[in-house]
Amino acid sequence: MNKKLLLILFCFAVSPIFSQSFEADLQLKPRLEFRNGYKTLLSGEQDPATFVSQRSRLNLLFEQEELEVKLSVQNISVWGEVPTMRTADNNGISLFEAYGQYNFSSSAKLRLGRQVLSYDNERILGEVNWAQQGQSHDAALFSWLPAACHRLDLGVAYNAPSETLFEVPYAINTYQNLQFAWYHLDRDNVGFSFLFMNTGYEYEAANTGGKTDYIQTFGAYHDFLKGDFSGNISAYGQTGQKMGRDLSAWYAGLNLNYALSEAWKIGAGGEYLSGTDMDDTSGELHSFTPLFGTNHAFNGYMDHFYVGNHQNSVGLVDLYGKLTYSKEKFSFSAIPHFFSSAAEITEADSDYLGTEIDLVAGYKLGKNISVNAGYSQMFATGSLEILKGGDKDNTQNWAWLMVNFNPQLFSFSKED
């Protein structure tokens, strides 16, 4: 973004005629990673990877009476991917969010443009904030809030590869069209949500030149807080077609937590994501896909499952515990996961895939800066080796260190 554009935005922000409020904040998030079995099992012939990635994001938010406009630009890079004397960046500047919102009233709002779609515990629709690039959608979203405890969101998206004069195949690796409805009721620290989503994926099909298959995802989510107890439970089904195959799949998740004291908490839970037997010859698909969820947060931080992988596979049973400590500026958590397949693995002695231990610590250095670090280790079995390849007997671990700078550059507001 050049200096002239920043000057125009600043003048627009402080104008007493047009502006009601304007905020600008900056995020710089460098992260060092050591990958030795991250996402897949390494063999003895493969060396671990070490690198530093960085998110550099500028957020601008303008509000005036019924109008809200947000622009979020970012650059995602790896240290050293371009020379020190550079004329251009490999990735350049991209848009993370760019939307306009009109508030018809306090209970009816319409948002158009690139935006984050994040709901409930982000299992089906989430921001995916761990990924440096995050996740956003080009969509239209209508929100209706008839009362403080009710909300209904209706969303629709239609994607094309470019401006064209006639219909062309949509070959980009995402949905071609999407429609969803989400209703939420929240009362007395108890919440209920219901989701229906229809996603259309275009793919090459013999003798047709292209075909769009539709997947329907539907279900409910419930969370609660009562005294020292909190938790959530959810269940979703999936039907339709995927790559020409009939789909029938389902998901169930349970998470329970108890506060031992103001600083210490314990928790336990589990997830079941249905899968397809490796020797299935029916042609039907029973593998549940969490689609646009923040999957890194659920099935182990080493991302062996559902983070750009483990699609149309044997599913997953994930049982886990959690111990957390948080006081003042310091936090710590330990999370063991016990993984099994939900469907049959050909030639495997057991459906047990392995155990992963995740350790994470964080410290808030100041108002606008925090440091987080983590270490994870996977104790894999022969069953996971069948799925992933690599060598289960090798040490498989992952470590990371991240600094998050998030200062507010300026904030201006004017009351009429």
Check residue 117 and report its DSSP letter.
-
- The Cα 407–Cα 416 span in angstroms is 28
CATH annotation of 3-413: 2.40.160.100
At residue 203, the pLDDT reads 85
Given a contact cutoff of 8 angstroms between Cβ atoms, the answer to whether 220 and 234 are in contact is: yes
Model confidence pLDDT, tens digit, residues 103-158: 999 999 999 999 999 999 999 999 999 999 999 999 999 999 998 899 999 999 99
Lookup result for tokens 């789909």: 247
Residue 4 sits at φ, ψ, to 5 deg, of: -65, -40
Q: DSSP H helical segments within 197-294, as ranges?
A: none
At residue 4, the pLDDT reads 47
At residue 348, the pLDDT reads 87
Contacts of 179 (CB under 8 A, 6+ apart): 155, 156, 157, 197, 198
At residue 413, the pLDDT reads 87
Give the number of C-alpha atoms closer than 13 A to the C-alpha of residue 215, restricted to the C-beta side: 26
Question: Of 54, 4, 67, whose CA–CA distance to 26 is shortest?
Answer: 54
Letter for the amino acid at 173?
N
Contacts of 169 (CB under 8 A, 6+ apart): 161, 202, 204, 209, 210
Contacts of 73 (CB under 8 A, 6+ apart): 1, 57, 58, 93, 94, 95, 96
At residue 101, the pLDDT reads 98
At residue 372, the pLDDT reads 98
In this structure, the number of other CB atoms found within 10 A of the CB of residue 189 comes to 11
Q: Give the CA dihedral 351, 290, 167, 205, nearest 10 degrees.
A: 10
At residue 8, the pLDDT reads 45
Give the number of C-alpha atoms closer than 13 A to the C-alpha of residue 390, restricted to the C-beta side: 25
Model confidence pLDDT, tens digit, residues 40-79: 999 988 999 999 999 999 999 999 989 999 999 999 999 9
- The Cα 259–Cα 231 span in angstroms is 11
Lookup result for tokens 């919440």: 191
- Structure-token pair, residue 297: 């947060």
What is the mean pLDDT of each successive set of 10 residues along the chain, which is 416 residues long? 50 54 97 97 93 98 95 97 86 95 96 98 97 98 93 97 91 94 94 98 70 96 96 98 95 98 98 96 95 97 96 97 97 98 93 98 96 98 96 96 96 80
